[in-house]
Amino acid sequence: MEKDDEQLIISLLERDAELKRYYDEHLDLERQISTFQQKGYLSPDEELQKRRLQKLKLAGKDRIMEILARYRGH
């Protein structure tokens, strides 16, 4: 996410529960993916899990961007 997006999200977290839920999930998925990326080798199961997490993160980011677009009036 871009810096402007991050700032807008942070300013809206307290008044938009849906945005907060997706943003918290996004951060959690980022941490989980980072754990996999730190490993030198991933088993096939770990690789599958990493890909699943990346897809969830992307879907959540899309939802966050939709919410932000509402606030921007697009």
User: What is the percent of the chain where pLDDT is above 70?
Assistant: 99
Distance CA(57)–CA(55), nearest Å, equals 5
Contact present, 12 and 19 (Cβ < 8 Å): yes
Residue pLDDT, tens place only, 10-46: 999 999 999 999 999 999 999 999 999 999 899 999 9
Domain ranges of the chain: 3-72
**For the whole model, what pTM was predicted?**
0.85
**Distance between CA atoms of 11 and 13, rounded to whole angstroms?**
6
Percent of the chain beyond pLDDT 90?
86
When the pLDDT of each residue in the chain is averaged and rounded to a whole number, the result is 94
